[in-house]
Structure 1
Amino acid sequence: MIYLFVLLLRIVAFLEGTPKIISFIVVFSIIGYSTIKRTPFKDFRKVSKAKLYSFLLIIFILIHGLIFGIVYLRDFAVLLTYWLWFVFTYTYMKEKTLEEGLRYVFFSFLIFNIANYIFFEMYYADQKRGIN
């Protein structure tokens, strides 16, 4: 299931317009449910430094974008989804070994790169040949 999140995040980042918002809501709810299910509520008030710093980084990126450009809802949706994916991955990998973590990184990059290649072949492959 955790590898499916990588593919879904790539699809959310690729889409535009209304399908992006709908896919964001679906992916956000799936990852949110999985994160809440894995988070222990007894020490829910204690926030780790990694989660806090990653959330602050997203806030600074949005503030920077507001000052120097235009921030669209799609940008906020992608950043929020990636932050939630980070929190889920952090809580999921906390009890795993180094080998399991490296295997996850390897397969995640493999899925991400295959998805990028498929998107490129579907929409931009003819540009190399000069076909418009």
Structure 2
Amino acid sequence: MILHYQPEKCTGCHLCELACSGYKEGVFNPALARLQVSSGYKGDNLVNEARLCEKCFKCADACSNRAIVYDRGPLSLVLDDCVQCGACIEVCPTAVLRPDGRGFPLLCDYCQGEPYCVKWCPHEALSLKEVE
């Protein structure tokens, strides 16, 4: 499964970011979300873009301590093995992976198959799809 974004349906409300950070971190703070939505105008048109985890697993491959693990499922972080080196963040092709306030990467695990970003998107701009 992978997150799918449809920009034509997105209004730029950022509710997905708030739902993500609220569920994962217990606070409504878009800086702690596992996805990022940006909104801006190009001419007279509002343009919304999203950066999402694409499950490329480059972060796990870059982790020399094997603190990021996956087994045909969601990514997970073994906190005791993470040394906060940032190698995983540097290789993220979508630049959505970033550190939390302690230096640990904010990994998207798709909320164990029930992503809150998808659940709370009022316009269905986000969905969970099978990988083709």
TM-score (norm 2): 0.27
Greater Rg by CA: 1
Which one has the bigger helix percentage?
1
